[in-house]
Structure 1
Amino acid sequence: MGATETMRAVRITGHGGPEVLEPARTAVPVPRAGEVLVRVGAVALNNTDLWTREGAYGRPGDPEALSGWRGPLDFPRIQGADVAGRVAAVGADVDEGLVGRRVVVDPAVYDTEGPDANPVGLMGSERDGGYAEYVTAPATQVHDVTESPLTDDQLATLPTAYGTALGMIERGRLKEGETVLVSGASGGVGVALIQIARARGARVIAVSSGSKTGAVREAGAHEVVDRGRDVAGQIRAAAPEGIDVGLDVVAGDLMGEGLPLLREGGRWVVAGALGGYDVAFDVRRLYLHNAQVIGSSMHTPTHFALLMDLARRAAFQPVIAATFPLDQAARAQEELARRGHVGKIVMHP
C-alpha cells in the first residue's frame, strides 16, 4: 500500500455539536514499528464520542472546562474507539501472520507496560480512531477473534462498553450467586453489565425507564425497576436481602439512595455520571457496613484479554440497535444522544 493512498474518514476540528463532524479524505496511516494497520469493518459509537466532541469532561479543579477525556485534544482528530476489522498490513517487528486476521482493537492508551496498567487515553480521543476506512494500533493491543461466531458489528460493540462493564465487574469482585444493581440499564454499558453479570451467574436488578423495560428484560435482567417511580422502594422489594454490588453509570441522586441498600461488605462501583457528578451520601452507611465505593474507568489489559476470551466463545450476544454508513456520522451521533434505543449503534466505513 503506497504512502500516498487516501481514505475516507470523519474528523472533528474543534469542540461543538454534531455539525463539527466533517467527512474528509485523508492519507491512509502507515503502521510504525510495533503497529498494525486495520481495515475497519465496523465501528461502534459510545457516549465518550459525544462528550469528547463536546469537550464535556472538565478538568481537575475546573469541572466546567472544555476538555477531552484526559485533557486538551489535538485537532483535527478522527473519532471512534471501537473497531473490528481485518489486519491489512504490519509495521516492522510485527508477525506477518497477523495480516488477514479478523481482530478487535483494545482502544486504551495505557500509562505503563504490564497486565494491570491504567488507561490514560483512548483511541478516537488521544489518538486517531475508527471513523475511517483504516486505523493503526499497537500490535500488542490487537486481539485475534477470527474464530468468534460474533459478527463484525457485534465485535465492534465490545471494546468501550463491554470493556468498561467488565472492568466494573472485576473491580467490584462480583461472584456467582451475588445480587447486582445495574443503573442506566438500556445504554451500551448497561446492556453489557447485564449480559456479563448474567454470564457470571449473578442475579441482576436493572434500573431503566418504563418504555425500555421489555428490552432490558430481554437483555437478561431478572427484575427491572422503573427509574420514574420510588427507585429505592422498588429495589428493596426486589432484593429484600440487599445488594452485593452496585454497577452504576448514573451516579447523581441514585448513588445517595443506593448506598444504604448495600449488604454488609457491599461494593458500589461507579463509572459514569449520567445523572450528575455532584453526589451526596450518608457516609455512616459506608463505614458502619464496611462498604466500598470504587471508581472504575474502562479496563486493564488483563480485563480486555478476558473480554476477548468471552467474545471468542460468544458468551453473550451484543444487541445492535441501528447501523449507519460512515458519512452519516453526525446523524448516528444525534441518534445516540436521543437515547431512544437499546443496545449499540454501529457504522460501516
Structure 2
Amino acid sequence: MTAIEITEHGGPEVLKPVARPVPAPGAGEVLIRVAAAGVNRPDLAQRAGSYPPPPGASDLPGLEVAGEIAALGDGAAGVAVGDRVCALAPGGGYAEYCALPAAHCLPLPQGYDAVRAAALPETFFTVWTNVFMRGRLQAGETLLVHGGASGIGTTAIQLAAARGATVIATAGTVDKCAACEELGAARAINYRNEDFVAIVNDVTGGKGADVILDMVAGPYVPRNQKCLALDGRLVTIALLGGAKAEVNFGLLMVKRQTMTGSTLRPQSVEAKAAIAAGLRSEVWPLLDSGRIAPVIQNTFDLKDAAAAHAALEAGEHIGKFVLTVG
C-alpha cells in the first residue's frame, strides 16, 4: 500500500510517499480501506518530533480516517466487512489501509461521504471528552473557546450551542471571528486587538465563563483565571503558548476553580471506546439531522500531505484539512 512516512523530524518536506505492507488487524481490531484521512495539529507535532506515537502504535501519522471495513480481527464486534465508517486511529491514518480498534469506529452520518466523515473523529472525540466529560458543560452555562476558527474550535462552538450553552470564542482575524459567530458563538473576540478577559466578564455580567477550552496555556492561564466563573472549569488541551504559567492559587481557592486537561492519543482503548459510545448516543443524532457539521477548509491528495501540513501551519484556515486517498 501507499503511505506517507515521516522520513526524519523536521518541516513538512520530510513527509514522503512510501510503499508499506498492508497492516493486519489484531484482536478486537478492524482493517479499514481508507478513502479519506483528517489532518490535525498532533500530526504536525509528531512530524516535528515532539509528540511520539504511544507504544504499539504505527509510526505513520494520521489519527482519523473514513472508509470501508476490509477485514476483521479476532473478536471484533459491532461492525462487519463492508461497513462504511469513520474512526479514531492511534496512528497510521495517512495510508491506503489502517488497522484500529473496532470500538473506535462510528457509522457515517446520514448523507456524509468519506471526506466529510474523516473530519469528524479527532475533533469530536477531543471536544466531547474535554468540554462535556471533563469540563461538565451544561445547558445554560457559558463556554469560552480559544482558537474558535480551528477544527477543534469550530466543533466546540457548534456542539456547545446545539446543547444549549452560550458560546464566546476568540480568533485572530475579522473573517475568523465572523465565521465563529455564524457557527453559533454569541460573541467572537479578535484577540489581536481586544481583551478577552474584559469582554467575557462584560458579556456575562461579571460572572465569567463556566468552562474555558484552552489551546494556548502559557500566558493565557492567569488571564483565563480572571474570567473564569465561580466553580468554573479550565480545560487545557494544547500548549501553543508554552507549558509553564503563573497560577493564582488564591483566586483558584476563593472562586473554587478547577484546572484540568488531557491528551487523547495515549488514552486506553477502553477510555476511547467510552468516548465513542457517548458520541454515538449524544452527538451523532445532531450530525444526522444537519444541526451541526464539520467545517472543511480544503482537501489534498494523500501524496500532497506535505502541502496540507504547510497549510495547517500557516494558520489562515477555518476548520479542517482532509487528505483524499485513492
After superposition, residues 130-141 of structure 1 pair within 5 angstroms as 130-141=93-104
Structure 1 gap segments, 5+ residues each: 1-6, 58-67, 108-122
Distance in 2, Cα, partners of 1:332 & 1:248: 24
Contact preservation (8 Å) 1:81, 1:130: yes
Cα shift at 1:95:
5.6
Pick one of 146, 155, 166 that aligns with 2:128: 166
Contact preservation (8 Å) 2:234, 2:260: yes
- Give the 3-state SS of the residue equivalent to 2:20 in structure 1: strand
Structure 2 gap segments, 5+ residues each: 265-270
Cα shift at 1:97:
6.2
Pick one of 137, 141, 155 that aligns with 2:117: 155
Matching of residue 213 in structure 1 with residue 177 in structure 2: yes
Q: Which amino acid aligns with 1:154?
A: R
Cα shift at 1:226:
1.1
Distance in 1, Cα, partners of 2:200 & 2:110: 37
Pick one of 172, 175, 180 that aligns with 2:143: 180
Q: 1:41 to 1:308 in 2, by over 3 A?
A: farther
Count of residues paired in the alignment: 311
Contact preservation (8 Å) 1:82, 1:157: yes
Out of 317-326 and 12-21, give the one that drifted further.
Answer: 12-21
Matching of residue 81 in structure 1 with residue 63 in structure 2: yes
The residue number in structure 2 matching 1:3 is none
After superposition, residues 36-47 of structure 1 pair within 5 angstroms as 36-47=30-41
After superposition, residues 256-295 of structure 1 pair within 5 angstroms as 256-295=222-261
Could you report, residue by residue, the CA deviation over 1:259-291 in whole angstroms, capped at 9, with x for unpaired residues?
122221111111111122221131111001111
The residue number in structure 2 matching 1:342 is 318
Q: Which amino acid aligns with 2:322?
A: V
Q: 1:104 to 1:328 in 2, by over 3 A?
A: same
Cα shift at 1:338:
0.5
Pick one of 10, 13, 34 that aligns with 2:7: 13
Q: 1:69 to 1:38 in 2, by over 3 A?
A: closer
Q: Which amino acid aligns with 2:145?
A: V
Cα shift at 1:33:
3.7
Q: Which amino acid aligns with 2:294?
A: P
Could you report, residue by residue, the CA deviation over 1:4-37 in whole angstroms, capped at 9, with x for unpaired residues?
xxx1111113311112111012222222343221
Distance in 2, Cα, partners of 1:96 & 1:291: 40
Q: 1:182 to 1:214 in 2, by over 3 A?
A: same
Pick one of 83, 92, 103 that aligns with 1:101: 83
Matching of residue 225 in structure 1 with residue 189 in structure 2: yes
Cα shift at 1:292:
0.6
- Give the 3-state SS of the residue equivalent to 1:77 in structure 2: coil
Contact preservation (8 Å) 1:150, 1:311: no
The residue number in structure 2 matching 1:191 is 154
The residue number in structure 1 matching 2:277 is 305
Q: Which amino acid aligns with 2:87?
A: V
Distance in 2, Cα, partners of 1:236 & 1:210: 21
Q: Which amino acid aligns with 2:260?
A: I
Out of 84-93 and 243-252, give the one that drifted further.
Answer: 84-93
Could you report, residue by residue, the CA deviation over 1:24-72 in whole angstroms, capped at 9, with x for unpaired residues?
1222222234322101121000000000110124xxxxxxxxxx2558x
Distance in 2, Cα, partners of 1:199 & 1:96: 28
Could you report, residue by residue, the CA deviation over 1:103-128 in whole angstroms, capped at 9, with x for unpaired residues?
12232xxxxxxxxxxxxxxx22xxxx
Cα shift at 1:231:
2.3
Q: Which amino acid aligns with 1:175?
A: Q
After superposition, residues 56-67 of structure 1 pair within 5 angstroms as 56-57=50-51
Q: 1:294 to 1:320 in 2, by over 3 A?
A: same
The residue number in structure 2 matching 1:120 is none
Contact preservation (8 Å) 2:148, 2:171: yes
Q: Which amino acid aligns with 1:290?
A: R
Q: 1:95 to 1:197 in 2, by over 3 A?
A: closer
Distance in 1, Cα, partners of 2:316 & 2:109: 33
The residue number in structure 2 matching 1:50 is 44
Cα shift at 1:312:
5.0
